[in-house]
Amino acid sequence: MQVNATLPPQALADVLRTMPKAELHIHIEGSLEPELIFELARRNGVALAYPDVESLRRAYAFTDLQSFLDIYYAGASVLLKEDDFFDMAMAYFRRAVADGIVHAEVFFDPQTHTARGVPFETVMRGLTRARETAQRELGLSSAYILCFLRHLSEDAAFETLEEALPWREHFIGVGLDSSERGHPPEKFARVFARCRQLGLRLVAHAGEEGPAAYVRSALDELKVERIDHGVRALEDAELVRRLARERVPLTVCPLSNVKLRVFDRLSDHNLGQLLASGLVATVNSDDPAYFGGYLHQNFVETFAALPALQVREAYVLARNSIEASFAEASAKARWVDRLDAHFESFH
C-alpha cells in the first residue's frame, strides 16, 4: 500500500485495527468497566452509590476533569485484593491485543489505593502477575509507569516513591496525573529529580486543561521525556517549534479530550494540526471505560471526524507510538519492521 493512499471507511478501519502499534497513555484504573466494578463490589461486599450498571454508565456525563475524577475514584473503591488488580489489568490486556497493540505502557495510581488502606504490595502483586500472564499467554509486551496524584502534596509523592522502591524492577518510570488546574508541574520538581537519579523514565500530564506553559515547565522543571496530552501546546508557537525540534512525543487522547470538554466536538480536535506541525503525536485511550472507547475506537472515530487523516497519518501515528515507547531498541526495530510489512501487504 502507498502510505498516501485514500481508503473507504471500512477498509481504513481494518488498517487501523490490525496495524502494529503501542499504547502509551492508558490508566489501568480507567479501564475498569462498569460490569467489572459491580462484579468486584459483589465479591468484596462494597456498597455502590448506583443501583445497576446502566445507572453508573449514565453518570459518565462529565463537564470537566474534576467531574470525571469524582466518579473515577468512586469506581476504584472496589479494588481491594490482589485478584481485583489482576482481573482489571488482564481485561485491559485482552482488549489491547484485540486492538492490534504490541506494547502497552500502563499508568497506575498507587495513592488512590493506599489512601483506602490497600497495601502497596497488594496493588503490585496483582498488576505484576497480570503483566507476566499477558506476556506469556497473549504475547503482549507491557510495562508500568507509577503516577503521582498532583492534587496531593510533593511530600506524599516522596512517601509513595519510598514505598515503591522495593518494587523498582516492576515499573519503568513515573508520571504525574489527576487535577491539572492549580497544580503546575514545578510543584513536583524535587521528587522528579530524585526519580531521575534513580534512573526512572519521566513523563507528565500537561497541556490538557492546563495551559501551554505547563508543557514548558514539565520539560524544564521536571525534565520529562514525554508529554501526556499536550494538545494546548499549539497555543505557543515557540513551544511548538521546540517540541518539533527536540522530537518530544505527545500522547494524545482524542475521545477523552471531547468527553472532558477540552474540545466541543471530535471534528474540532487538533490532532491533524499537531502532525502537520511536525510533532511526534500518538493516539491513546486514556480512561477508556469512562470515555467511550479503547485504542481502536479512538482511531476510528477520530479518523472519521477528521477526513484529512488517511493512510499516511495512520502509519505515522503507529510508527510514532512505537518509537516514542520506552521499549528496548531491538524490540522497537522489530515492531517497525512488522508495521512496514503490514502496510506493504495492503497493495
Cell of 59: 453518570
CATH number of 9-344: 3.20.20.140
pLDDT-derived band of residue 94, with 50, 70 and 90 as boundaries? very high
Residues β-bridged to residue 108: 146
Q: Are the C-beta atoms of residues 319 and 336 closer than 8 Å to each other?
A: yes
Give the residue-averaged pLDDT of 31-43. Answer: 95
Q: Shortest CA distance to 75 belongs to which of 100, 94, 56?
A: 56
Q: Report the distance separating Cα 241 and Cα 246, nearest Å.
A: 9
Residue 130 in this model has a pLDDT that exceeds 90: yes
Is the sign of the CA dihedral 323, 325, 328, 334 positive or negative? Answer: negative
Q: Report the distance separating Cα 262 and Cα 257, nearest Å.
A: 5
For the chain, the first-to-last Cα distance in angstroms comes to 4
Give domain limits for the chain. Answer: 9-344
Residue written as cell 487501523?
16
pLDDT-derived band of residue 13, with 50, 70 and 90 as boundaries? confident
206: Cβ contacts below 8 Å, ≥ 6 apart:
176, 180, 185, 214, 215, 217, 218, 227, 228, 229, 230
* pLDDT computed for residue 2 by the predictor: 56
Give the residue-averaged pLDDT of 58-77. Answer: 85
Q: Report the distance separating Cα 211 and Cα 226, nearest Å.
A: 16
Q: Tally the C-alpha atoms within 13 A of residue 180's C-alpha that lie toward its C-beta.
A: 24
* pLDDT computed for residue 4 by the predictor: 67
Give the residue-averaged pLDDT of 179-185. Answer: 93
- Would you please indicate which residues are annotated as catalytic (active-site) residues? 208
* pLDDT computed for residue 5 by the predictor: 72
* pLDDT computed for residue 162 by the predictor: 98
The string over 25-58, giving b where at least 16 C-beta atoms fall within 10 Å of a residue's C-beta and e elsewhere, is bbbbbbbbbbebbbebbeeeeeebebeeeeebee
Any idea how long the chain is? 347
The 10s digit of each residue's pLDDT in 134-173 is: 999 999 999 999 999 999 999 999 999 999 999 999 999 9
Q: Report the distance separating Cα 176 and Cα 210, nearest Å.
A: 13
pLDDT-derived band of residue 17, with 50, 70 and 90 as boundaries? very high
Cell of 269: 480536535
* pLDDT computed for residue 11 by the predictor: 86
Q: Is the pTM of this model over 0.75?
A: yes
Q: Tally the C-alpha atoms within 13 A of residue 51's C-alpha that lie toward its C-beta.
A: 0
Give the whole-number percent of the chain exceeding pLDDT 90: 87
Mean pLDDT estimate for the chain? 95
Q: Are the C-beta atoms of residues 232 and 212 closer than 8 Å to each other?
A: yes
Q: Are the C-beta atoms of residues 259 and 282 closer than 8 Å to each other?
A: no
pLDDT-derived band of residue 10, with 50, 70 and 90 as boundaries? confident
* pLDDT computed for residue 347 by the predictor: 53
Q: Report the distance separating Cα 164 and Cα 186, nearest Å.
A: 22
Q: Report the distance separating Cα 286 and Cα 24, nearest Å.
A: 9
The 10s digit of each residue's pLDDT in 226-284 is: 999 999 999 999 999 999 999 999 999 999 999 999 999 999 999 999 999 999 999 99
* pLDDT computed for residue 44 by the predictor: 96
Give the residue-averaged pLDDT of 67-73. Answer: 84
DSSP 8-state code for residue 170? G
pLDDT-derived band of residue 311, with 50, 70 and 90 as boundaries? very high
Starting from the edge strand earliest in sequence, which strands make up the sheet with 226-229, in order? 21-27, 101-108, 141-149, 173-177, 201-206, 226-229, 249-252, 280-283
DSSP H or E run through 176: strand 173-177
Give the residue-averaged pLDDT of 276-295. Answer: 97
* pLDDT computed for residue 45 by the predictor: 96
The region of weakest confidence among 61-70, 103-112, 188-197 is 61-70
Q: Are the C-beta atoms of residues 26 and 106 closer than 8 Å to each other?
A: yes
Q: Report the distance separating Cα 286 and Cα 332, nearest Å.
A: 22
